[in-house]
Amino acid sequence: MSGKIRRQAKKLGVTYEFLFMRASGDQLRQITTLIDQGVVRPVVGKVVGFDQTPQALQSLSQGGIRGKAVIGSS
């Protein structure tokens, strides 16, 4: 994590964390439990249709979406 982001987070009194993981059924069940319990609160920045996936990925990479982009199938 960059020093700039750490300083901004500290100034605002928030924590900023990230991790890299490989998805597995067990891990996804554990994450679901944490979300259901309110321990983890994912931030959804935008919900888009499947056909808008390329635009959403580009927007994410350029910082145009804060939080998660959710790709829907309907």
Least confident of 6-20, 37-51, 53-67: 6-20
- Whether 44 shows a pLDDT value over 70: the answer reads yes
User: What pLDDT, on a 0 to 100 scale, did the predictor assign at position 34?
Assistant: 96
- Whether 18 shows a pLDDT value over 80: the answer reads no
- Whether 46 shows a pLDDT value over 90: the answer reads yes
Determine the Cα–Cα distance for residues 56 and 74; give it in Å rounded to an integer.
16
Contact 49, 70 (CB under 8 A): no
pTM, full prediction:
0.50
Residue 54 has φ and ψ, to the nearest 5°, of -60, -40
User: What pLDDT, on a 0 to 100 scale, did the predictor assign at position 74?
Assistant: 64
Three-class SS state of 72: strand
Domain ranges of the chain: 1-41, 43-74
Three-class SS state of 27: helix
Q: What is the mean pLDDT of residues 31-38?
A: 94
Residue 6, amino acid = R
Helix (H) or strand (E) holding 20: none
